[in-house]
Amino acid sequence: MKRFHFLLAAAALAFAACNAPKASDESANPADKVLVRDFFPDVANNIPVTKVERAKFTVIDMHSHDYVESPEQIAEWVKVMDAVGVEHTAIMHCSWIGRPFEEVVEAYAPYKDRFRFWCCFDYTGIDSEEWPAQGIAALERCKALGATGIGELGDKGEGDTYARPADGKGIHIDDPRVKPLIEKAGELKMPISIHIAEPIWMYLPMDETNDGLPNAACWHVDTTDCYGYWKLMETFENAVRENPGTLFIACHYLNMTHDWQRLGALLDKYPNMYVDISARVAESAHTPRATREFLIKYQDRVLFGTDNGMEAPMYQGIFRVLETSDEHFYVPEYNYHWALSGFNLPDEVLKKIYHDNAERILTEYK
Ligand SMILES: [Zn+2]
């Protein structure tokens, strides 16, 4: 027995001697020269790499923005949508510092079957006597211009700062002043798409214990003078609970991909809540089995969205994650050092997430 221990110790020493840098020459360790933010290794494994050119089923993209600057770019975008299998794209007008809503609708008019438009809550005059009539009138006007829904509202702690044209600073979604608008949205059958908080890593200490550090450091949220993560989640839950006649779509999985149980519990509790998967590939594909389980369990409550431009590889990267069982690949554009793996979702689930759930909201909810 003693001899066995001795051999183990000797083996361990031999291993250490081969691998550790010499104490006298610490800088010789190449790992010391690599910054965590630059860590995007090539995958050495001989494993399947699937190129998904086109989505397996027709797609409705429920989360995009007005990225174009010319009619030619819209035509180009439609070509890409045709090639990758996107039937139509929701253009979220809020959060986008660009042209007014009516100009956006007009710009896309030649392709009006391929785009739908979501407008903002207009908080102009929120503290005046004309409120809420004024806000409701703005909403009705936007509906008359063809808006499908409202969004993307966005509260990262300081209020709905995505709002246009008025500044929504200090106005959170459960603010009593907003309730008449939320109720009106329900009456007009306009879903509300809302971005709440940021992924949890952006609130954690910015040090070696933060699992999402490279990206989190870029998007770090300073909560000194504003609502923190859980306070924001509370505002969202209040709004969803108090307005059962209005449908809420929590963008980016409600920024709760670190806790599928908790997100699932909210979906269980509130039938008027959906999530979109936009712009959270890395945050979901580094835990492929847990995410897959969530997506299968809540297959009727999840909507496809992109939120990341209009290039074909962007769409194809998301399709790869949803459709294949490829594993351990990196997407440097997402600015995470995590290796990603595909979910290999069953066809019936894919079909719902890609298309049927959105179609149901856009038709039956009407
Ligand atoms: Zn967005």
Residue range 17-38, pLDDT digits in tens: 445 455 555 568 888 888 888 8
Q: What is the pLDDT of residue 24?
A: 55
Ligand 1: centre distance to CA 241 (Å): 24
- Report the range of poorest mean pLDDT among 122-126, 166-170, 362-366: 362-366
Distance between Cα 138 and ligand 1 center (Å): 22
Q: Write phi, then psi, for 287 (nearest 5 degrees).
A: -125, 65
Question: Do 267 and 314 fall into the same domain?
Answer: yes
Instruction: Based on the fold, state whether residues 10 and 61 are members of the same structural domain.
Output: no
Same domain, 126 and 23: no
**Is 43 domain-assigned?**
no
CB 56 within 8 A of CB 353: no
CATH number for the domain harbouring residue 155: 3.20.20.140
Q: Are 79 and 118 members of one domain?
A: yes
Q: Does 29 share its domain with 62?
A: no
Lowest mean pLDDT among 37-51, 96-110, 225-239, 255-269: 96-110
153, 24: one domain: no
Task: Indicate whether 252 pLDDT > 50.
Answer: yes
290-320 pLDDT, tens digit each? 999 999 999 999 999 999 999 999 999 999 9
Between these two residues, 4 and 81, which has the higher pLDDT value?
81
Could you tell me if residue 288 is inside a domain? Answer: yes
Mean pLDDT over 176-185 rounds to 97
Q: Are residues 110 and 67 in the same domain?
A: yes
Q: Which of 228, 303, 290 is nearest to 258 (CA)?
A: 290
- Regarding whether 120 and 4 lie in a shared domain, the answer is no
pLDDT higher than 50, residue 2: no
The chain-wide mean pLDDT, for the chain, equals 91
- The answer to whether residues 118 and 14 belong to one domain is no
pLDDT of residue 10: 43
Q: Is position 262 within any domain? A: yes
Structural domain includes residue 261:
yes
Structure tokens at 233: 């989640």
DSSP letters spanning 34-49: --GGG--PPP-S----
- C-alpha 92 – ligand 1 centre gap (Å): 7
For ligand 1, the distance from its centroid to the CA atom of residue 254, given in whole angstroms, is 12
Burial 29-54 (b: 16+ CB within 10 A, else e): eeeeeeeeeeeeeeeeeeeeeeebee
Question: Ligand 1 centroid vs 153 CA: distance in angstroms?
Answer: 9
**187 has pLDDT over 50:** yes
Q: Specify the range with the lowest mean pLDDT, choosing from 11-20, 162-171, 255-264, 296-305.
A: 11-20
Instruction: Rank 220-229, 320-329, 335-344 by mean pLDDT and report only the highest.
Output: 320-329
Q: Rounded to a whole number, what is the largest CA-CA distance in the chain? A: 88
For residue 49, tell me if it sits in a domain: no
Short-list 250, 244, 254, 241, CA closest to 284: 254
50 within some domain? no
Q: Scanning the structure block, which residue is given the tokens 């200090």?
A: 170
Residues 209 and 345 in one domain: yes
Residue 324's pLDDT is: 98
Alpha-carbon dihedral sign for residues 324, 329, 331, 336: positive
Confidence of residue 39 (pLDDT cuts 50, 70, 90): confident
User: What local confidence, expressed as pLDDT, does residue 100 receive?
Assistant: 85
21 shares its domain with 62: no
Expressed in angstroms and rounded, the spacing between residue 148 Cα and the centre of ligand 1 is: 16
Q: How many domains does the chain contain in total?
A: 2
| 275 belongs to a structural domain | yes
pLDDT for the residue numbered 165: 86
Same domain, 139 and 10: no
Q: Write the CB contacts of 82 (distance below 8 Å, at least 6 apart in sequence).
A: none
Distance 63 CA to ligand 1 centre (A): 6
7 Cα to the center of ligand 1, angstroms: 59
Does residue 40 sit within a domain? Answer: no
* pLDDT of residue 16 exceeding 70: no
- 333 or 305: which leads in pLDDT: 305
pLDDT at 61: 98
Domain with 271, as residue range(s), is: 56-363
